[in-house]
Amino acid sequence: MRTIFRSTVCATVALAFMAGAAWAAELAPLNSDTEKDRIVWSDLDAKFGPLPALKSGLRVGGVSKTLTNEYWRSLGEGYQKYADKTGVSVVYQAAQSEGDQLGQLTIAEGLITQGYDVLLVSPQTDANLQPMMEQAKAANIPVVNVNDAVIPSAEHYVGNVQRDNGVRVAHWFIQNRPDGGKVAVIEGQAGVYAAVQRTDGFKATITGESDKFEVVASVPGNWDRQTSYDAATNILQQHPDLVGFYCNNDGMALGVVEAVKAAGLADKVAVFGTDGISDAYASIKAGELTGTVDSFPVLTGEVAMETALRLVSGQALPRVVSTPQALITKDNVARYQEAGDDLRAVLIEDEKK
């Protein structure tokens, strides 16, 4: 059964690249971190005016990686929040697991068949939803790629600068561990854009801007808490003098925190995650997780929905709408957690610094 499944996945990926090839003459492959045709989320109103009048009965389809991870549930809350504000209908669906690439593709293709007016998709990998893109284009259905894998042929993307997640954590280590030391990375799913960028941002910065750090391990945690616990346990056995971990998401980071505690190294090893889920905030306040890079998924969902509605109403927007992020530690956790309805103002203030 596994052999059949792998063969099917390989065939789907091959079809994905064939589908993407037809776009090459029209659109360069997307790198959402470096794409020059971009706008900051907070400038949408100033540059494009208020949201245009929407047609009656507009339906938006959202496709998530999974609903088992709080980040993706929060993103869906953002979709719904903005949809409620504007009176449009939205459905938000996800594959059974974060590894169900074919299931996610089937969901996305189903929304096209059902005639949804615009799609918001968060691919499991950079390739698994590419076959859907050409179908959507043929049906004249706009598609917005929303964090964190990146479909190369995507015409529009909403999300944060993935590389900057790792860069921010590396800067924390350089500033707060002046003696340097050994560090390790727990990566997300191998080959996924966000995981590659976050990992490379951390590694390149911590070794490029300081000669006091050594990255002694960088292994996939596959976005899984138990896998990351096991990986961290092995790394700590080999490097008991480790000074810190950077993890590509918070679920993995919380698994690493447990491994660090089990090894009796909680006071010596710093652990950072990415995403800003509520459990990460609670762990930071409890003095366990050192920090996370919050990419504010509810706000990201709102911005993505606004972008989708502007596109389906005929506005020509830049290819990338970048959303905010912030490094959260015990020193500033209250500022962001208690912002509430003022979060937008807080993040706009950050952008001015």
CA distances to 20, 136, 154, 246 from 26, in Å: 11, 16, 11, 38
Rounded distance between C-alpha atoms, residue 278 and residue 35, angstroms: 31
pLDDT of residue 14: 44
Could you report the per-residue pLDDT of 321-346, keeping only the tens digit for each?
A: 999 999 999 999 999 999 999 999 99
Q: How far apart (Å, rounded) are the C-alpha atoms in residues 1 and 108? A: 24
Do 162-294+332-336+347-352 and 2-18+30-159+297-322 have the same topology in CATH? yes
191: closest CA among 199, 183, 182, 181? 199
Evaluate whether 189 touches 125 at the Cβ level (below 8 Å). yes
Give per-residue pLDDT as tens, 51-67: 999 999 999 999 999 99
Angle at 72 between CA 348 and CA 64, to 5 degrees: 120
Burial class of 349 by CB neighbour count within 10 A (0 to 12, 13 to 18, 19+) = exposed
Q: What is the predicted pLDDT for the residue at 104?
A: 98
Pair 270, 173: CB distance under 8 Å: yes
Q: Is 131:113 a contact under the CB 8 Å cutoff?
A: no
pLDDT of residue 7: 42
CB atoms closer than 10 angstroms to residue 109: 16
pLDDT of the residue at 10: 44
Helix axes 250-262, 225-238, angle to 10 degrees: 40
**pTM of the entire structure?**
0.91
Going by C-alpha positions, the residue among 194, 255, 190 that lies closest to residue 219 is 190
Residues 6+ apart with CB under 8 A from 146: 75, 120, 121, 122, 157, 158, 159, 300, 301, 304
Tokens of 183: 């560090």
pLDDT value of position 305: 98
| Residue 121 one-letter amino acid | V
CATH of 162-294+332-336+347-352, one of 3.40.50.2300, 3.30.70.360, 3.10.20.30, 3.30.70.260: 3.40.50.2300
DSSP, collapsed to helix, strand or coil, labels residue 91 as strand
**In the chain, which stretches have pLDDT less than 70?**
1-25
Question: Under CATH, to which class is 2-18+30-159+297-322 assigned?
Answer: alpha beta
For the chain, strand residue ranges (E) read: 38-40, 59-64, 89-94, 118-121, 143-146, 157-159, 181-187, 213-220, 244-247, 270-275, 291-294, 320-322, 326-329
296-316 as b/e: b if 16+ CB within 10 A:
bbbbbbbbbbbbbbbbbbeee
**pLDDT tens, position by position, 280-326:** 999 999 999 999 999 999 999 999 999 999 999 999 999 999 999 99
Q: Which two structure tokens, joined as six digits, stand for 141?
A: 């259905």
DSSP for 189-239 reads STT-HHHHHHHHHHHHHHHHS-SSEEEEEEEE-TT-HHHHHHHHHHHHHH-
What pLDDT is attached to residue 107? 98
Break the chain into its structural domains and give their ranges: 2-18+30-159+297-322, 162-294+332-336+347-352
If phi > 0 it is left, if psi is from -120 to 50 it is alpha, else beta; for residue 199 that is: alpha
My answer on whether omega of the bond before 179 falls inside 30° of 0, hence cis, is: no
